[in-house]
Amino acid sequence: MEADTSGATMARSGRVVEPSVSNALPHFVPLAVFPLVVCAAAYGGWWLAGPFVFYALADGFEKILGPEERNMDPATTRESQLFPYKLSLWLWGALWPVTFVFSLWQVLVSGHLALWEIVIIAVFLVLVAQSVFIVGHELVHRRAPWERRLGEFLLSSCSYPHYATEHVYLHHPHVCTPLDPGSAPKGMSFWQYLFPELKNNLLGAWRFERRGLRRRRRPVWHYTNPFWRYAAGIVFWYGLVFWLGGPLAVLAYLILCGSPVFSMKISNYVQHYGLRRIRTPAGRFESVKPRHAWSADYKFSNWMYYNMQRHADHHTSNQRYPLLQYHGESASPQLPGSYTQMNSLALLPKRWFATIDPLLDRQRAQFYPEIDDWSAYDSRAFAARPDAFDVIAEIHAAAPRLAGWINRSPELLDRLRDREFTDLELPAGIGPDPEFEATARRGLARLYWTHELSLSEMKAQLADIPVQDGSEAVDAAREWSNSKVFQVAVHVMRGNLSIRRGGHGPVARGRSLDRVRAGRGGGGLR
């Protein structure tokens, strides 16, 4: 049963945070870093200790203040009451560009700082920039166009404005499914996750916007393509850095932008690691629930990072950050520490798996007691071919070695859509009883694989594959042969062919019978 976290329940339990200026003040704490960075850049020397002390004390306050499980009631909170909370966010979005430009001037133009001071200030700017994604993330979700544009501009300062498209239109609807590269499956380390995620973020955002323009019958270069805005933001920041410091400054800026992007990717990895939305009998994924994001609720982190740790409610309600609800362990899996601590742990895969995988197994047993085998959901084949889940689950349940085969080469699943395979898979109800249907399937499979697919037919199919030289011909023949053996293996697994007949047809000649036995748990492709 889902946990009841409604405002009425919170009110009855006395665990409500009333919207007020005093309760909003803690969310102004992150703004304190800006005058500290400005003084450090303007004066150097001992002024550099200011930002260092700010970040050093943050960890201590985390331990002292502990968790915060109280919620603001969305049902009784008026939009006007949220003004001070929104103001803290808007001030952050306004002060960051000013502080950044001022610091760049001091570092690149004024010439009063030593090299070691410049390096330290660059580190401080990177630390502050890590919050850019949190603020930008909150803003790009808002309805007001000016807030979304401000969010895009902030993200551009970290060279990542396309996040505005990818996160809202791809990550959110597809979270915890293979359609979202940002939701890491169980067993995938952060280092395996990072580079494909970066690539898919950019390409996925571009493809999404291109499809939208095509639906409206507009060319990709139409002015409504948001990539024009993203490019303008990038040009502004890189142009500014080049004007102030030249090519070397641009190179340094490009490298330093990698740090906040890296930090954001760790958070994204931690927030959804291993969590999966199950497939419904209708073939769709279940709706997003609090169980599909890891939760933590430490008070100081929520002040500093605008309730980022209440990510489970962000995906189910998409409300402004002060209204996000804390979901306890009855509704959402809980991390053993704050997001900051878990982000550091994620960099060490062995320790990460040892800590989180048992919690993930507990989450699955708690929320999905009817599912005993998660291997299909965790498989590489499902990640590559989500539409083929039913046959992937069938193979994982019946033929472990064949499952390894499709996980190594997911493209083999495409061969199960070929007409030569589907024509032999008679639909249910075609005969007077199940026994007749099974006999008909076996008869068709035997007829095709042992007689109709003769050597002359095999040669004709191979001749239809375009190749330019002998090497390509060998590769094409190997791929063709592997696909046919895979089809035979699936027929064997389903009982349409016996192992003896599966290993007797023309395709299997020259191969050991063990390859065909993959359908019963043995063999593999080469």
Ramachandran angles phi, psi of 71, nearest 5°: -130, 150
Give the residue-averaged pLDDT of 24-30: 91
Q: Of 428, 430, 403, which Cα lies nearest the Cα of 493?
A: 403
Q: How far apart are CA 440 and CA 436, in angstroms?
A: 6
* pLDDT at res. 201: 94
Asked if pLDDT for residue 423 goes beyond 70, the answer is no
- For 126-131, what is the mean pLDDT? 90
Residue-by-residue DSSP string for 494-513: HTSS-HHHHTTSGGGTTS-H
Mean per-residue pLDDT over the chain, rounded: 84
* H/E segment holding residue 102: helix 83-105
What does the alpha-carbon distance between residue 457 and residue 440 come to, in Å, rounded to a whole number?
A: 23
Helix, strand or coil for residue 305? Answer: coil
Among 105-114, 127-136, 232-241, 505-514, the least confident range: 505-514
For residue range 158-216, list pLDDT tens digits in order: 999 999 999 999 999 999 999 999 999 999 999 999 999 999 999 999 999 999 999 99
pLDDT class of 13 with cuts at 50, 70, 90: very low
Indicate the length of the chain as a whole number. Answer: 526
pLDDT at 504 over 80: no
Q: Count other Cβ atoms within 10 Å, centred on residue 372.
A: 9
pLDDT at 6 over 50: no
199 contacts: CB under 8 Å, gap ≥ 6: none
Three-state DSSP class for residue 330 = coil
Q: Which two tokens stand for residue 388?
A: 């083929």
Residue 503, pLDDT above cutoff 60: no
Q: Report the C-alpha gap between 275 and 290 in whole angstroms.
A: 11
Greatest Cα pair distance in the chain: 91
**According to the model, what pLDDT value does residue 513 have?**
34
Give residue 454's pLDDT. Answer: 55
- Is pLDDT larger for residue 352 or for residue 422? 352
Q: Would you say residue 411 has pLDDT above 70?
A: yes
Is 437's pLDDT higher than 70? no
pLDDT tens across 358-396, in order? Answer: 999 999 999 999 998 999 999 999 988 888 898 999 899
Note the pLDDT tens digit of each residue in 219-251. 999 999 999 999 999 999 999 999 999 999 999
Instruction: Inform me whether the pLDDT recorded for 442 exceeds 70.
Output: no
pLDDT of residue 511: 44
pLDDT tens for each residue of 254-296: 999 999 999 999 999 999 999 999 998 888 899 999 999 999 8
Confidence of residue 28 (pLDDT cuts 50, 70, 90): very high
Q: Tell me the two tokens of residue 282.
A: 């209708």
Residue 5 has pLDDT above 50, yes or no: no
d(C-alpha 287, C-alpha 278), whole Å: 9
pLDDT recorded at residue 318: 83
Distance in angstroms (rounded) separating the CA atoms of residues 169 and 231: 19
What confidence tier does 402 reach under pLDDT thresholds 50, 70, 90?
confident
Comparing CA positions, the residue from 475, 440, 433, 480 lying closest to residue 460 is 480
9 pLDDT more than 60:
no
467 Cβ neighbours under 8 A, 6+ residues apart: 473, 476
* pLDDT tens sequence across 468-488: 777 777 777 777 677 777 877
pLDDT at 126: 92
CB 204 within 8 A of CB 164: no
Least confident of 14-18, 293-297, 301-305, 407-411: 14-18
Q: Which residue has the higher pLDDT, 429 or 270?
A: 270
**Residues with Cβ within 8 Å of residue 39, at least 6 apart in sequence:** 47, 50
- What CA dihedral angle connects 23, 26, 27 and 31, to 10 degrees? 140
Domain ranges for the chain? 8-349, 380-520
Tokens, residue 410: 């997911």
Q: What is the pLDDT of residue 526?
A: 41
Backbone angles phi, psi at 16, to 5 degrees: -110, 140
Give the pLDDT score at 509. 45
Residue type, 175: V
Average pLDDT over residues 306-318: 91
Question: Looking at residue 304, what is its pLDDT?
Answer: 87
